[in-house]
Amino acid sequence: MPLPLAVTDTSVLINLHHLELLNSLSLFYRQVLVPSPVRTQFLSRDDTRSREIALDVLTRRGFFSPCDDYDSIEVDRFKTLNMDEGEAEALSQLKSRNADVLLIDEKIGRNVATRERRRVNGTASILARLHLNGVAEYWSCINRLRSESRFIITDKIANQALDNALKEQIGL
């Protein structure tokens, strides 16, 4: 079975880049579509040069792909739900590209995607899967993001992400 096609919002890219795990997305997805506002937000942070390099390398490999055609009416509708441009366009691209999964951490975007019966993976669920595959130590990554970035997650949600990844791995 082929790996799923993903569309990403900015937060997941920022968090995985911070942990030097951006390349690891290729373990779970055949390609990650990156909308224009997401690329802009990702590149507007402090460590812009290392982000440019990471984005360029993954794009040249064909793993990251720009996706810039979207339904502007739908994006405007999503923005009325208090989403930023990147979240709104990622949701629109998810539908228009018929992608399999949305990579997003923000609650509103996750809820909208879930209501529309779309699969959602956030930073914690990706880190949990990486942990189960022996690539990264889950709690070390979670605690590092908590202390070094603006990543906010309760222990309850972090434990739930780990439990869900384990259930997914064993087929429950």
What is the domain extent for residue 81? 5-123
CATH of the domain at 119: 3.40.50.1010
The answer to whether position 136 is within a domain reads no
Q: Kind and range of the H or E element at 136?
A: none
The answer to whether position 149 is within a domain reads no
The answer to whether position 49 is within a domain reads yes
The answer to whether position 67 is within a domain reads yes
Look at residue 17 in the predicted model and tell me its pLDDT. 93
The answer to whether position 130 is within a domain reads no
The answer to whether position 23 is within a domain reads yes
Task: Give a three-class secondary structure readout of 48-98.
Answer: HHHHHHHHHHHHHCCCEEEECCCCHHHHHHHHCCCCCHHHHHHHHHHHHCC
Look at residue 79 in the predicted model and tell me its pLDDT. 84
Give me Rg for the CA atoms of the chain. Answer: 15
When divided into structural domains, the chain yields a total of: 1
Model confidence, pTM? 0.90
Look at residue 172 in the predicted model and tell me its pLDDT. 64
Give the C-alpha separation, 82 to 169, whole Å.
34
Look at residue 159 in the predicted model and tell me its pLDDT. 96
The answer to whether position 165 is within a domain reads no
The answer to whether position 115 is within a domain reads yes
User: pLDDT tens track of the chain, all 172 residues?
Assistant: 799 999 999 999 999 999 999 999 999 999 999 998 999 888 887 777 888 888 888 888 888 988 887 778 888 888 888 888 888 889 888 888 889 999 999 999 999 889 889 999 999 999 999 999 999 999 999 999 999 998 999 999 999 999 999 998 887 6
